[in-house]
Structure 1
Amino acid sequence: MFRAGGVAAVAAGAGAFGGVAVADTGPFAHGVASGDPLPGGVVLWTRVTPVADAVPGSGAGPEVRVRWEMALDEGFRNVVARGAVPTGPARDHTVKVDVTGLAPGTWYWYRFHLGGAASPAGRTRTAPAGDAPVDRLRFGVVSCSNLQAGHFSAYRHLARREDLDGVLHLGDYLYEYAPGEYQARDVVVRPHDPPIEMTTLAHYRRRHAQYKADPDLRALHARVPFVVTWDDHESANDAWSGGAQNHTEGAEGRWLDRRAAAQRAYAEWMPVRYEPGGRLYRRFTFGALAELSMLDLRTYRSRQAAHPLDPAIHDPDRTITGDAQLRWLRDGLVTSGAQWKLVGNPVMIAPVRFPSTLSTEELRALSRLTGPLTGVPYNVDQWDGYTADRRELFAALRDHGVRDTVFLTGDIHSGWAADLPYDPLTYPLNRNSVGTELVCTSVTSDNLDDILRVPPRTVSLGVEAAVRVANPHVRYLDFDSHGFSVLEVAPSRVQMDWFALADRTDPGSAARHTASFTVRAGTQRAVRTWEPLR
């Protein structure tokens, strides 16, 4: 990643931000993006196509220098930073600049130039100063955006909002499957490119390029900064440190080579302060109000347990985080000076027991969402399969009296609000919640009603009720919706609103508010509220 200090400058030039991607993008067909906002800096991203044959993943095309500029106004009359960055086929003609020397809590506009062509203009925002009082933060929250399963209308709705400081993407930004392997109720809405399962660097680059060509995703990236992490589908389903469920050693090459290719393409194509060989888990501060810890729960984890009755799920030598990341997370939460401790968490941490009263068909459908169930307590791909790590973390929160910890989670294609009991078997009588968890739905990936081939809010209602009876700390559950969430963080409370798409296969789908839950400061409990954010 190229790092650039802020340089005062003034430049003439036209440019405007209209809230949607500009149609005539010339060599900037994949748009612009920003991410990882700090009080004094932000990452800027684009990809250029300098000649016709320099297509993503081809390894073709010349080395070029791409110019960039940042301004305080959308007309670029008050330019505050500028520079030039080399790129070429070695990094798939992507450009990533870590701009520093910026003012905290400030909106900026940015754009790139190649020759006489200018990119669409993007808008971004730096984080508030570390000790600044902050009245409010708002983020879009999304996960599980499978292009084959639908259109990204969720991104379009978020891009049209005027109140967001950024977007949290909690994983499964893209999917590895070939056409016909995973889509919308077995209907391929938009076939993946390349038309095979991605396993090589060229495959991963092409797939990233296809997703970045989506107009709704480009519009949202150009609107606000993203803070991202990966889950499994950025490489392969149910990935762990030494392999993945959707990887066959030998037939698909060495797992470490495939993972390296996936991580390299991710570093190239995402607006993230990460390069291969570094670490993805990282922390952001937003004044005195909030601190956000983003986790990587795939790179260091032990292999998933064989089944839910496997005693390995309690083995203290197995880990979902890796020892170093768990210490970093635990110590950061315990010593944080921020009021709200937010955790970007790719897979659910709340303990969940699946009721034995469900039918075989319902359990089979749930297992497709969560991993093996067989009617017993644990989903072994989530923190439920690594109980020693969770217990150590929860014990630290309890023993140090840490308050106002909220885990923000994706992965499971459903909406949840849950308390986090230290001892779920006696909850809520013991009132020992150490935090809360808010889980966003999938943007497009199949949910329970899709798997069962039933209308939304029919069979799932009984399943949800049974799960909540078996898990009194679960306050809200929606197994059917596709869409997005909006999170507000304020001194008095955190609130998440859930929004559901009318039809994920419709590029113009409407969205409606379905639920809101609030965590009041100091309570460690999620409570339903009937008023969405205004």
Structure 2
Amino acid sequence: MDRRTFLTYSLAGGAMVWAGSAVPSALQPLFEAQAQTANLEVFPQSVGAGDPRANGVVLWTRALPRTRPSAATVSFQVASDANFGTIVLSGTAQTDPTRDYTVKVQLRDRPELRPATVYFYRFLLDGQSSPVGRFKTLPAPGDTVNRVNFAFLSCSDYTNGFFSAFRFLADEDIDFVVHLGDAIYETVFAPTFQNNRRPIELPSGLASAQSLEDYRALYQIYYNDPDLRRLRERHAFITIWDDHEYANDAYQEFNTDTNNPAQNRSPNRRQVASQAWAEYTAAAIDFDPSRAPLDAIQIYRSFEIGNLVELVMTDERLYRSAPPCGLNTALAPGCAAVVDPSRTMLGATQRRWFLDKITRSPRTWKIWGNEVMTMQLKISRAIVNGAGVPGLTLPADLFATLDQWDGYAAERTEIFNALRSANVRNFVTITGDLHTFIAGYQRLNFDGPLAPRAVPADAVGVEFVTGSITASNLAEQPNPFNLDINTSTQLLSASNPHFQFFNSNTHGYTLISVTPSELICTMKEVSTVTEPNATLRVLKTYRVPNGQVLMQDITA
């Protein structure tokens, strides 16, 4: 893409904004709706909001004009009430086929938007209105805040089940949603982990997304789901990606589709995956297709929530080193490269930024929005062989997967030592990726002796891992040892005494409620993903007191 085309692409979403409803008279027809009901033919993926700030937010839609292909001027309104009786902002934005008719309006530093306030918004095109969306702004960075409620989630595989969890989450009393990645799955039928319950056919006809059209089609299909659509209309999202927005176990420009790293390098595929993510994600993030894939986009960023929370979101795909011991990262014994200090998950620039944000934050709670688990997940030879499982003997300890921080142990140790040296308190990590609910302690030395359920003396923080929305968990995936899920859970829990809880046979999401005195983590599970009708229940609840690296089980 040449520079002129890039400028055209970049400016296509440029918005004009006016306070209240006083738009120029010549533009007034753009704000007139012919009907009161929403038109999903014009706005097929409904609306979404993201990256809320004290005086800003990103508003998103996809708007299809009557005459295509052609550019379109889309209008929008933000109001303090759902009936739009009091409009606080009005504006227009441009879209066209180069953006797949997506619209992203980045509202920054707007004094009309008050901190910690609920607003409603809608888009209009050709006399038709979108569904009404809702968002809540964050408290101002210097404000005294008594409570923040949010949810975090990950790993929604459309083909693997129904999004009932999204329907329940839409009704939760929360300020925003943190999405930790795998919002789509690039594969549409991988028999080892996808059951094809809801089939998808890509434009290319291939089994995994390869082109910009393929990735765009996935977002459209996922966003058409009624439960996800309602959740996106109801709450603003803070979103990062993980691997499946590009390719399984991806790193830099590489996928892991074959056993040949050279063959797996695909700069164009990485680039179009990033472009589709930028187009379809309500995030205040720019994408520059004129630059190389690793420089075209930066998704790591942080959010200051009053005086209470520093939320730091990282990218653990674009800058990471190659897998340490070859492309087979599952059930691996490890190798010398695991502890090689030159290897990185975050990259040097992001690592310095991350540590600066966490160690210098004056806020009570420092929360890391993290893609892959930081805690060690090892299968102990001594534990397994001592359990006397028929036909199962291990010659060595095995890591469950070196795709997570276990494959980047030197950098993990560097980060945890820096947090300990800086005397960082109230450090909490929220994680997705593993399709498993886990609660545990982050240690300087995970192999140090520790009694089950004990609090390690070398703990620097606590980590909560959420189960998947639908993506297959350990109970649903075949394993080479042919172990049932109860035996697997027992062996993994015993092999990792820093875990306080481990459950990989259910699906759902996790709620966080933060006050000056405590953080409450509530894991919730749905009864099924194999059919649309499900029930919801609390799986586990933990309390983390201010000033202590401590997890207290307070499940009712």
TM (normalized to structure 2)? 0.85
Q: Deviations over 1:446-486 (max 9, x none)?
A: 11111249xxxx93233223222222211110011111111
Residue number in structure 2 paired with 1:209: 220
CA contact (8 A) 2:156 2:183 kept: yes
- Structure 1 residues 50 and 254 mapped into 2: Cα distance closer, same or farther (>3 Å)? farther
Q: 1:439 to 1:16 in 2, by over 3 A?
A: farther
Asked if 1:239 corresponds to 2:250, the answer is yes
| Whole-Å separation in 1 of the counterparts to 2:438 and 2:190 | 29
**Distance verdict in 2 for CA 1:524–1:411, change over 3 Å:** same
Q: CA deviation at 1:15?
A: 12
Corresponding residue of 2:459: 433
1:337-486 pair list within 5 angstroms? 337-356=362-381, 357-358=383-384, 375-377=397-399, 379-424=401-446, 425-427=448-450, 431-452=457-478, 459-486=484-511
Partner of 1:63 in structure 2?
Answer: 71
Structure 1 unaligned spans of 5+: 55-60, 364-372
- Does the aligned pair in 2 maintain the 1:241–1:298 contact within 8 Å? yes
| Equivalence for 1:58 | none
**Where does residue 188 of structure 1 map in the other structure?**
197
Match for residue 30 of structure 1 among 28, 45, 49: 45
SS in 2 for 1:449: coil
Q: Secondary structure at the match of 2:19?
A: coil
In structure 2, the residue matched to 1:94 is 102
Q: Distance in 2 between matches of 1:445 and 1:393?
A: 30
Aligned counterparts of 1:199 and 1:374: Cα–Cα separation in 2: 38
Q: Is the 8 A contact 1:4 1:98 kept in 2?
A: no
Find the residue that maps to 1:135 and give its secondary structure: coil
Q: Distance in 1 between matches of 2:196 and 2:209?
A: 20
Report the Cα offset of residue 278 of structure 1. Answer: 2.9
Q: How many Å separate the matches in 2 of 1:191 and 1:501?
A: 23
**1:85 and 2:93 correspond:** yes
Question: Which whole-Å CA distance do the structure 1 matches of 2:190 and 2:183 have between them?
Answer: 19
Q: What is the Cα deviation at residue 134 of structure 1?
A: 1.3
Count of residues in Structure 1 that have an aligned counterpart in Structure 2: 505
Please report how far the alpha carbon of residue 75 of structure 1 lies from its aligned counterpart in structure 2 after TM superposition. 0.7
Compared CA separation, residues 214 and 374, structure 1 to 2 (3 A):
farther
Give SS of 1:244's match: coil
SS at match of 1:342: strand
8 Å contact 1:6–1:99 — kept in the other structure?
no
User: Which residue pairs with 2:20 in the alignment?
Assistant: 8
Distance in structure 1 (CA, Å) of the matches to 2:100 and 2:262: 26
CA–CA distance in structure 1, aligned partners of residues 92 and 32 of structure 2: 17
Aligned pairs for 1:163-312 (under 5 A) are 163-181=173-191, 184=194, 186-194=195-203, 195-196=205-206, 197-246=208-257, 255-276=266-287, 277-306=296-325, 307-312=332-337
1:190: Cα distance to partner? 3.4
Q: Deviations over 1:262-297 (max 9, x none)?
A: 000000011011122231000001100101011110
Q: CA offset at residue 16 of structure 1?
A: 12
Residue 301 of structure 1, CA deviation: 0.3
Are residues 147 and 130 of structure 1, via their aligned partners in 2, closer, same or farther at CA, if it must alter by over 3 Å?
A: same
Q: Deviations over 1:39-83 (max 9, x none)?
A: 11000000012248x5xxxxxx21000001101111101111111
Q: Which amino acid aligns with 2:408?
A: Y
1:327 equivalent to 2:352? Answer yes
Q: Is the 8 A contact 2:188 2:199 kept in 1?
A: no
8 Å CA contact retained: 2:441, 2:456: no
Alignment of structure 1 residues 491-510 onto 2, 5 Å: 491-510=516-535
Contact 1:226 1:271 in 2 (8 A): yes
Say whether the 8 Å CA contact 1:15–1:121 is kept in structure 2. no
Equivalent-residue separation in structure 2 for 1:406 and 1:440 (angstroms): 13
CA distance in 1, matches of 2:35, 2:471: 34
Taking structure 1 as reference, are residues 4 and 470 closer, same or farther at Cα in structure 2, changes over 3 Å only?
Answer: farther
Q: How many Å apart are 1:526 and its aligned residue?
A: 1.9
How much has 1:316 moved relative to structure 2? 1.0
Partner Cα distance (2:188, 2:283) in 1: 26
Shift of 1:242: 3.7
Choose the corresponding residue for 1:145, options 151, 156, 176: 156
Residues 250/130 of structure 1: CA separation in 2 closer, same or farther (3 Å cut): closer
Shift of residue 260, structure 1, vs aligned partner: 0.4
CA shift in 2, pair 1:9/1:435, >3 Å: same
3-state SS in 2 of match to 1:483: strand
**Cα pair 2:257 2:264 within 8 Å, conserved:** no
Between the aligned partners of 1:248 and 1:47, the Cα distance in structure 2 is 38
Tell me, yes or no, if the aligned pair for 2:34 and 2:128 is still in contact at 8 Å. no
CA distance in structure 2 between the aligned counterparts of 1:464 and 1:315, rounded to whole angstroms? 30
Aligned residues of 1:433 and 1:525 also touching (Cα < 8 A): no
**1:157 equivalenced with 2:160 (yes/no):** no
Cα contact 2:159–2:188 (8 A) shared by 1: no
Contact 1:199 1:252 in 2 (8 A): no
- What is the distance in 2 between the residues matched to 1:460 and 1:378? 15
Aligned with 2:439: secondary structure?
A: strand
2:5 aligned partner: none
Amino acid at match of 2:432: G
Whole-angstrom CA distance in 2 between matches of 1:507 and 1:394 = 42
In the superposition, relative to structure 1, how do residues 6 and 343 fare at CA in structure 2: closer, same or farther (>3 Å)? Answer: farther
Q: Does 1:43 align with 2:58?
A: yes
Q: Which amino acid aligns with 2:52?
A: P
1:13–1:76: 8 Å Cα contact kept in structure 2?
A: no
Which residue of the other structure, out of 127, 132, 141, is the alignment partner of 1:130?
Answer: 141
Check whether the contact 1:15–1:75 (CA below 8 A) recurs between aligned residues: no
User: Structure 1 26/251 Cα, relative in aligned 2: closer, same or farther at 3 Å?
Assistant: farther
8 Å CA contact 1:517–1:529 kept in 2: the answer is: yes
Q: Does the 8 Å contact 1:13/1:75 carry over to 2?
A: no
1:24 shift after superposition = 4.2
Contact 1:32–1:46 (Cα < 8 Å) also in 2: yes
Output the CA distance in 1 between the equivalents of 2:401 and 2:193.
23
**Corresponding letter in the other structure for 1:396:** A
Instruction: For 1:169, give the aligned amino acid.
Output: H
| Partner Cα separation in structure 1 for residue 377 and residue 212 of structure 2 | 37
TM-aligned CA deviation for residue 374 of structure 1? 7.3
Residue type of the partner of 1:72?
Answer: S
1:183 to partner: Cα distance? 5.2
Task: Name the % identity.
Answer: 34
8 Å CA contact 1:150–1:190 kept in 2: the answer is: no
Deviation at 1:377, TM superposition (A): 3.9
Post-superposition shift, 1:249? 7.9
Contact 1:10–1:77, Cα closer than 8 Å, also in 2? no
Once the two structures are TM-superposed, the CA of residue 430 in structure 1 deviates from its matched residue by 5.7
Q: How far apart in 1 are the matches of 2:396 and 2:404?
A: 16
Per-residue deviation, 1:3: 5.5
Whether the 8 Å CA contact 1:10–1:80 is kept in 2: the answer is no
Distance 1:14 1:527, change over 3 A: farther
Rg (Cα) greater in structure: 2
Alpha-carbon separation, structure 1, partners of 2:502 and 2:338? 25
